[in-house]
Structure 1
């Protein structure tokens, strides 16, 4: 059995959306409360407070008249938020992460946890705990939130760590589900992949995947985004009061439009990467060999940094890794200093004076070939040496 994370968009109605924001607010309050308790206790010289002790104290706080509003929120939401705060605080002292910060209402992502035992899935809906306590049939419908994708999450599986989050436009649910191992019959041949800016990926089997950022759809959206950014900037400058900026309704409206355009661009790029990697993996090669790109170094080049960022090389590699792992394909990462483009695929000669502007590789042995396609052939040959 293998564990996969599944993320699906939700389509709540207005009442359900209000309850979700209420749950996220309660989770943020419980997290900040637990973090403040731990911090205050540490400054006084006390030992680490366990999450079980804090949860017992929070239950007494929840039953008080001052915090009666917490009774409208499922107990499991706040309990898990306290546990998350304790884990984050403990990891800081283990040098696994930075010091946990208090969550801000304006800046932090609204999200909360649902109990993995009480959550239920159907083909079209997911049932949340505590949205409605009434036993009437029409009130019970409030607990069932529609899923944007039907049949994506199995209904008779074991669920782990269900989390609900808001990205500024839509609510999403992510849950880990156990799936059976799928072993596929693989081909004897391998594939070498050279990533670039002119084209996203050039494969050694002759397939080339174009750069989606050069398409008219993406260019129009980029232009629309630039215009909206300038419009928002002008609105802020126009409504400036002394040192501070005044956020008017027009600013909020334009910022929401800008957020939609940003999400649209991100979705187009991620979808294209998913389609590309899936198409490569579905050819069932014995191994896939890619190069270890120094993306952080490439980002320092101010002429290429934007193009490199938009290509999403890290996302491409991350998707290949988990898809190869799921399908039993060996993924080989070539050494960063392997001269895949400078090495002649025929005679093995290395052309040290090869420039980035030289798109055609010409060797003394008579080999004339596209440099990116030759790099993919060399990567395939590299993979043959290390393939098991």
Structure 2
């Protein structure tokens, strides 16, 4: 199966300049293509009889070469792959929007998610060097998977650091499992409660650094936008955001790897994360835990380590159902942290829910 590999790049000033040029060209191509496609959609709304066929990624690239490149000679200073992949990603974004999977694509702003994709004769020279067309040899801090020939690589900017990523082929492994079935109840107070009795606390990285982040944003409020001091403050804020996200990802990676390696069947609820984020009282705590990222990691790691992932129905009453007698309570408020049943069972609310999820897999 294919998994992503991403690591930080050790680049000099010349390479940084090339990175910024490629990212700027890709952003320009995206914004030009987005503006053109929006004009076509507006034209088709007003002229139902004389509709224009919505362009493919190939059509957009042909028009870019004919209409944009002659007026912008700096396009020839970078690889042709950067605008080509940007238009391909734009068409994919429109397809997702037409299928109601995601919102329509938006215009990109300089310094916000700068990235570009290149392909061609890419080669991993040794454990710390990658050769890329039009850029040359790039060094990395982390040891690379040697002997791999990526078809394409994506280079992205996060705060003041550049990262390179590509997909690698790995073989699935059947690790020995110590537990047959485990139910997992995700929560805001505790990240995960297992039916085996284990509890994993969330790092709550945003809550930990919220005051520091607020302080940095407060200090930046009166700086002149575009000035050197404003740019320095923006880098500090982005660094802290990256640090918060890395802590959250590290916690989730450790938890999902442990679950996939040591359990044959894993049962989780199909949580309505977007609906939970709409609740202004819970949104910050839910986002700090990273429920969507937890499920995304668990899905591919179960395939990687030979485990089975079972998604319980969204309306399954895991919290209201008694794990002993099977009676469903009519009401159960969020403040009730202990589940008490008439049959005499009294146990933690999250543990009761995780046991019910485990029973669901057995049935």
**TM-score normalized by the length of structure 2:** 0.84
- When residues 62 and 297 of structure 1 are mapped into structure 2, their CA distance, relative to the original with a 3 A threshold, is closer
Q: What is the match of residue 18 of structure 1? A: 17
Of the candidates 136, 142, 149, which is equivalent to residue 149 of structure 1?
Answer: 142
- When residues 19 and 320 of structure 1 are mapped into structure 2, their CA distance, relative to the original with a 3 A threshold, is same
Of the candidates 201, 209, 218, which is equivalent to residue 230 of structure 1?
Answer: 218
- When residues 127 and 298 of structure 1 are mapped into structure 2, their CA distance, relative to the original with a 3 A threshold, is same
Of the candidates 259, 265, 275, which is equivalent to residue 280 of structure 1?
Answer: 259
Does residue 76 of structure 1 match 2:75? no
Does residue 5 of structure 1 match 2:4? yes
222-231 or 29-38: bigger deviation: 29-38
1:326 positional shift: 1.6
1:212 positional shift: 1.3
Q: What is the match of residue 254 of structure 1? A: 233
What per-residue deviation string (whole Å, max 9, x for no partner) do you get for residues 29-83 of structure 1? 344455666677886976566655765676677996x644333322333443454
Question: Contact 1:160/1:177 (CA < 8 Å) preserved in 2?
Answer: no
Separation in structure 2 between the aligned mates of residue 355 and residue 178 of structure 1, nearest angstrom: 47
1:12 positional shift: 1.3
Of the candidates 108, 115, 122, which is equivalent to residue 111 of structure 1?
Answer: 115
Unaligned segments of structure 2, at least 5 residues:
44-49
Of the candidates 100, 118, 128, which is equivalent to residue 132 of structure 2?
Answer: 128
Helix, strand or coil at the partner of 1:212: coil
Q: What is the match of residue 138 of structure 1? A: none
Question: Contact 1:24/1:112 (CA < 8 Å) preserved in 2?
Answer: yes
Question: Contact 1:4/1:176 (CA < 8 Å) preserved in 2?
Answer: yes
Helix, strand or coil at the partner of 2:26: helix
77-86 or 167-176: bigger deviation: 77-86
Separation in structure 2 between the aligned mates of residue 275 and residue 351 of structure 1, nearest angstrom: 35
- When residues 287 and 229 of structure 1 are mapped into structure 2, their CA distance, relative to the original with a 3 A threshold, is same
Question: Contact 1:88/1:100 (CA < 8 Å) preserved in 2?
Answer: yes
Separation in structure 2 between the aligned mates of residue 19 and residue 36 of structure 1, nearest angstrom: 26
What per-residue deviation string (whole Å, max 9, x for no partner) do you get for residues 283-318 of structure 1? 1x2200112223333334433222122111111111
Does residue 178 of structure 1 match 2:156? no
- When residues 13 and 378 of structure 1 are mapped into structure 2, their CA distance, relative to the original with a 3 A threshold, is same
Of the candidates 193, 196, 200, which is equivalent to residue 187 of structure 2?
Answer: 196
1:353 positional shift: 3.8
Of the candidates 181, 206, 209, which is equivalent to residue 221 of structure 1?
Answer: 209
What per-residue deviation string (whole Å, max 9, x for no partner) do you get for residues 204-244 of structure 1? 1121101312xxx76552221121122223x25xx6xxxxx
Q: What is the match of residue 311 of structure 1? A: 289
Instruction: Give matches, 1:366-377, under 5 Å.
Output: 366-377=344-355
Question: Contact 1:159/1:178 (CA < 8 Å) preserved in 2?
Answer: no
* Bigger radius of gyration: 1
- When residues 54 and 204 of structure 1 are mapped into structure 2, their CA distance, relative to the original with a 3 A threshold, is closer
Unaligned segments of structure 1, at least 5 residues:
132-142, 240-245
Question: Contact 2:123/2:150 (CA < 8 Å) preserved in 1?
Answer: no
1:321 positional shift: 1.2
Separation in structure 2 between the aligned mates of residue 314 and residue 287 of structure 1, nearest angstrom: 19
Question: Contact 1:120/1:155 (CA < 8 Å) preserved in 2?
Answer: no
State the Cα RMSD in Å. Answer: 3.2
Of the candidates 244, 249, 265, which is equivalent to residue 265 of structure 1?
Answer: 244
